[in-house]
């Protein structure tokens, strides 16, 4: 499958709230890039980790979610607002908000969609 086809499948799963399965598909996208393309692999890894963070949250592991969200923030910040087909700025805005929410001990009520542009 092509990168865009894999992303569309990951988006479908993500938007259904199946973050674990979405992360598996996103790993297939990540594998399309050679090790030498560190930037692309890093940006995709950040999105993969975001799916893992949200999976932690829905499984009741809020502390793990917060820890991973902080890693995601640091990993996605160097990526372009639109990286390849993904709206990274949209994801980062949720990451920032969700970190604040979890630090206050509150609950996440809305997850971002995985926007493909």
- Listed in order, strand segments (DSSP E) in 2-102 are 82-83, 86-87
| Domains of the chain, each with CATH number or no CATH | 3-103 (1.10.3450.10)
pLDDT number for residue 115: 96
21-26 long-range contacts (CB < 8 A, ≥24 apart) are 22/51, 22/114, 23/48, 23/51, 23/52, 23/55, 26/51
Which of the residues in the chain have pLDDT under 70? none
Q: Are 99 and 109 in contact (CB under 8 A)?
A: no
| pTM assigned to the model | 0.96
pLDDT at 59: 98
Select from 82, 108, 78 the least CA-distant residue to 95. Answer: 108
Of the candidates 61, 86, 88, which has an alpha carbon nearest to the alpha carbon of residue 72? 88
φ, ψ at 46 (rounded to 5°): -60, -40
Q: What is the pLDDT of residue 62?
A: 98
């Amino acid at each position: 499958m092509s990168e865009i086809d894999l992303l569309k499948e990951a988006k479908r799963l993500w938007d259904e709230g199946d973050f674990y399965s979405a992360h598996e598909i996103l790993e297939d996208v990540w594998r399309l890039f050679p090790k030498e393309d560190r930037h692309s692999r890093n940006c995709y890894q950040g999105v993969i980790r975001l799916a893992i963070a949200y999976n932690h949250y829905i499984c009741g592991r809020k502390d793990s979610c917060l820890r991973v969200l902080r890693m995601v923030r640091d990993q996605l910040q160097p990526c372009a607002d639109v990286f390849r087909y993904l709206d990274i700025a949209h994801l980062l805005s949720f990451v920032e908000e969700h970190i604040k929410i979890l630090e206050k001990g509150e609950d996440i009520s809305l997850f971002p969609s995985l926007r493909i542009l």
